Each structure stands twice: as C-alpha cells, then as structure tokens.
Amino acid sequence: MSLPSHSVDLSVIIPIYNEEENIPALYERLRGVLDPMNVRYEFIFINDGSRDQSLTLIHTLASRDPRVRYIDFSRNFGHQIAVTAGLDLSLGEAACIIDADLQDPPELIPRLYDKLHEGYEVVYAKRRSRQGESAAKKLTAKLFYRILASITNISIPVDTGDFRVISRKVVDALKQMPEQNKFIRGQISWIGYRQTYLEYDRAERAGGETGYTYRKMINLALDGITGFSDAPLKAATISGFIVSGLAFLVMVYTLYARFVTHHYEPGWASLMVSILFLGGVQLIAVGVIGEYIARLSANVRQRPLYIISDTNIPVAQPAPALT
C-alpha cells in the first residue's frame, strides 16, 4: 500500500506514558502554535502502555481531528522506542520530537522549523536552565552529559534532550539504524549533516509525574555510553594492567621479605586489603563487559523493537512481522 508520500510537511512525534493530565493542554498549545505556521502537519501520539486515561483522550482527539494519528503499544516499551516508532511511521518532510508534559515549550517549534530551512538537517533545543526538577536530577543529568561528551568519539551535545526538529533525510537515516538499545540523540549526532541549536529555558512538568524512574534513567545513560563509546572497556583493561602491576610489585616484595630479610608479619590485614581490592576491580571489569554483552545479545536476538496493538496509521501493520 502506498500513500502520497510527504504530503505532510511536519510530523509532531509525542511519546505518551500516563499523561492524561497534560494531553488536552498539550493539544491546544500545539494547535495554537502549528495552525498559524501554515504547514501541513500531523500529530503522532505513541501510547507507551499508559495505565491511565491517556489512550481514551487520544482516541477522542483522533475522532475529531484527522491529523491526529496514534500508535498504541502492547505494553510499556520506553520513551526512546516510542519516539522510534513515531518516526518510523511518520510521513512528514520534517519531524519534531517533543515531550508530552509541556516541559518542551511548543512555542519554540516555529523557530526550530524555520532554522531547518536555513540549510540544516537537525535543529535541537538546548536547555539553558531547568525548572522544577530535583537537585539530584539536575546534577546527575549534568554529570552524565559531560561524562558522555568526554568519552564518546562523536560529539553529542550537552544539556540537550530529544526535543528537536529533524529533516526527512535524518529520519530515513535513523530508520536504517537497527540497534535495539536506542539513544536517539546520540544516533542523530552520529548521522552528521549540518546541525545547529536554539536555547530555551526548560519549564517544569505541567501535570502528572515523571515516567522516567531512576532505573530508566540509568538504563538510558548506559545505552548512551555503551552505544557510542568503548572507553569503559578500555578503562577496565587499563585498570587491570595497573592493578596487576601493583600486585606484581607487592609479590616481589613479599618474596624478598620471606627469603632475604626474613622479616615478615603474619599479614592478615594486607592480605584482606589486597583480596578485597582485587575482587572489587575484577567485579567492576566483569560488570563492564557484561553491559556490552547484554546489548550484543539483545541485538543478536533481533526481536522487533515494539509491538503495536492498535493504530490509525494506514501503512502500519499492527504487530510488525519478524523478517
């Protein structure tokens, strides 16, 4: 089945996880911004296994507005997968990825979109400040972006989420990247082309609660690091060498003390310290390797990234078949 391709200028990709409090306001604000823009647009709501009334609200919107498309997942697959599905099924010449909780101001979209037409393929929105988020979240986010920037070999912009406008070229390139552990902002940096940014002040969540638990955040951070850097593996190797070197010196000294000076103690403390230390280093190294192997095996399994239980997008097959 083929649709007149790209009869849409802008696809707005909105991942939804328990956002019943925000959907009506979000829709109104998006329309208020998009209608005057004079572009043909579509909304793609991806319901990522919400347990509240989000889906009902989306259905209602879809029944009133034919530009509202939705994808309903069979369960919660996570934010990055939800965005991926939206991009997979989008038709627009450009796509805008935006959070549903109004932390990303819809009012910035026209400026992002205009900038795209100055010859860029990616215009991302960089957070100048963040409001209403815990000090712990701000600190961990800041640290994460900086560690990531320092150990990856591509330049992933700091303090930038997925809020951005990208061109069809970039959407098509993303579709060619089959990894299971998505870190979309990293993938987009990897793709290249001309990229630029606008700065904005990140508002606090309009209603509801964050769907990003610490577990999900840690996973996202690990996906970002393992997907774009081998530095932790190298660090494991290097610390292995350093610790082995130290252990060798201690060994030489021990033999020297035992056979030459005959001056040695029972040495319980030093034994404990070195065993604990070596054990710790080994466990860390094994853990690091494990993180990579887990991701390797996820990719080897080749499962579909998501299962769609229902959608009103004609080209989409509910439950994509395995190839």
Q: Which is nearer to ligand UDP, 24 or 280 (CB)?
A: 24
Residue 101 as a binder of ligand UDP (CB under 6 A): the answer is yes
Residue 72 as a binder of ligand UDP (CB under 6 A): the answer is no
124 sits in which H/E element: strand 122-130
Q: Tell me which residue of 224, 220, 98 sits closest to 164, measured CA to CA.
A: 98
Q: Which is nearer to ligand UDP, 147 or 235 (CB)?
A: 147
At 308 the three-state DSSP class reads: strand
Stretch in the footprint of ligand UDP (CB under 6 A) among 122-130, 206-214, 233-241, 256-264: 206-214
44 sits in which H/E element: strand 41-47
**Residue pair 87/174 in contact by the 8 Å Cβ criterion:** yes
Distance CA 86, CA 48 (A): 11
Stretch in the footprint of ligand UDP (CB under 6 A) among 96-104, 152-160, 187-195, 236-244: 96-104
Exactly one of 76, 196, 219, 274 binds ligand UDP (CB under 6 A); that residue is: 76
Residue 21 as a binder of Mg ion (CB under 5 A): the answer is no
The distance of closest approach from Cβ of residue 85 to ligand UDP in the complex, given in angstroms and rounded to an integer, is 10
Stretch in the footprint of ligand UDP (CB under 6 A) among 14-22, 30-38, 163-171, 228-236: 14-22
**Residue pair 85/189 in contact by the 8 Å Cβ criterion:** no
Interacting partner of 232 out of ligand UDP, Mg ion, none (Cβ under 5 to 8 A depending on kind):
none
Distance CA 173, CA 188 (A): 9
User: What does the DSSP assignment read for 176-243?
Assistant: T---SS--HHHHHHHH-SSEEEEEEEEPPPSSS--S--HHHHHHHHHHHHHHH--HHHHHHHHHHHHH
Residue 93 as a binder of Mg ion (CB under 5 A): the answer is no
Residue 54 as a binder of Mg ion (CB under 5 A): the answer is no
Interacting partner of 8 out of Mg ion, ligand UDP, none (Cβ under 5 to 8 A depending on kind):
none
Residue 92 as a binder of ligand UDP (CB under 6 A): the answer is no
The distance of closest approach from Cβ of residue 37 to Mg ion in the complex, given in angstroms and rounded to an integer, is 24
Site residues (vs Mg ion, CB under 5 A): 101, 103
